[in-house]
Amino acid sequence: MKCAYCGKNNKPGALVCKRCGIALPVEPPAGKPFSDSTDMVETGKVIDAEVVRTPDHDVSGKKVRMSKKTAAVTACAVLFVALLAAVIILVAVNAGSIILPGNNSYTVYTDAVIFNGEAVRPDGALTLDAASSFDGTRVALKTTDGDLYVCSKGTYRLAARNVDEYTISSGGRYVIYSDGAGLLWSCDVKDASSAPVCITNDAANPSFAVSPDGKSVLFVKRSDSTLYAYVNGKLRAIGQGFEPVSISDGGKYIYCYRLADNSLYYVNKRDKQIFVRSNIGENISLNSRHDEIVFSADSGNGIVATMICVRGGDAKEILLSDSAAAPVMPVSAIKSVSPVSRFEVSSFPVKSFDNRLFYGSKLLSFSFRSGAKDLCSNAVSMAKASDNYGKVLYVTGGRLYSMSVRSGEADKLADSCSDFTLSANGRIVWYVDLGSSLHAIRSGSDQLIARNVQSFTVLPSGRQAAFIKDGSLCLNKNGRPGQTFVFEGFDAIATVSDARGHYYKTQDGIWKKLGAGGKRTDLSK
- Beta-carbon count within 10 A of 392 CB: 26
Is residue 397 in a domain? no
Q: Is a pLDDT exceeding 90 seen at residue 159? A: yes
| Whether pLDDT at 51 is above 90 | no
Instruction: Identify the CA nearest to 66 among candidates 80, 49, 83.
Output: 49
103 lies in some domain = no
pLDDT at 84: 40
**Percentage, residues of the chain above pLDDT 70:** 83
Q: Which candidate, 451, 522, 515, 510, places its Cα nearest to that of 481?
A: 522
Average pLDDT of the residues of the chain: 85
Domain containing 19 equals 1-28+77-96
Give residue-wise pLDDT tens across range 12-38: 767 667 666 666 765 544 444 433 333
* pLDDT top residue among 345 and 181: 345
Report yes or no on 499 lying in a domain: no
**3-class DSSP state for residue 123?**
helix
Number of domains within the chain: 1
pLDDT tier at 97, thresholds 50, 70, 90: confident
Distance of CA 326 to the CA centre of its chain: 14
Query: Could you tell me if residue 148 is inside a domain?
Result: no
Rounded to whole angstroms, the Cα distance separating 220 from 179 reads 15
Q: 93-114: b or e for each residue (b if 16 or more CB lie within 10 Å)?
A: ebbebbbbbbebbbbbbebbbb
Q: What is the side-by-side order of every strand in the sheet holding 511-513?
A: 494-498, 501-505, 511-513
Give the C-alpha separation, 395 to 398, whole Å: 6
Residue 520 covered by a domain: no
- Based on DSSP, count helices (H) and strands (E) in the chain, helices before strands: 1, 45
In a domain? residue 4 = yes
The whole-number pLDDT of residue 110 equals 86
Q: What angle do CA 493, 497, 498 make, to 5 degrees?
A: 155
pLDDT digits over 112-142, tens only? 999 999 999 998 999 999 999 999 999 999 9
Q: Is the pLDDT of residue 323 over 80?
A: yes
CB 327 within 8 A of CB 357: yes
Mean pLDDT score, 489-507: 92
Residue 12 lies in a domain: yes
- In 10 A of CB 462, how many CB atoms? 25
Please determine, for residue 6, whether its predicted confidence score (pLDDT) is greater than 80: no
In a domain, 88, yes or no: yes
φ, ψ of residue 372 in degrees (nearest 5): -95, 145
